[in-house]
């Protein structure tokens, strides 16, 4: 929820800049950094979810290998 608020806040600052208002460079840079961090965090979350899915698949495969070995006896 906080990330969404930050994104809206940064979008508001950018809208002000587009309307002729010029926020300080520090504010604009900080706003851009926040947006970049939000995007980077989203990418990392997607990577983590993919890794979790891979780990689950590997665990399922290991279970199948163990079951197949038990059945082969």
- Residue bearing tokens 């300080």: 24
Stretch 25-51: mean pLDDT = 82
CA distances from 50 to 7, 10, 62 (A): 25, 29, 18
Q: How many domains does the chain have?
A: 1
Stretch 37-60: mean pLDDT = 89
Q: Which domain holds residue 39?
A: 2-72
User: C-alpha dihedral over 30, 36, 38, 42, to 10 degrees?
Assistant: -170
Report the percentage of the chain scoring pLDDT > 90. 15
């Amino acid at each position: 929820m906080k990330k969404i608020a930050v994104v809206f806040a940064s979008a508001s600052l950018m809208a002000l800049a587009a309307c002729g208002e010029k926020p300080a460079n520090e504010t604009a840079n900080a706003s851009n950094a926040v947006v970049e961090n939000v995007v980077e965090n989203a990418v990392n979350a997607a990577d983590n979810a993919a890794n979790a899915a891979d780990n689950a698949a590997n665990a399922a495969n290991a279970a199948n290998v163990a079951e197949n070995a038990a059945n082969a006896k």
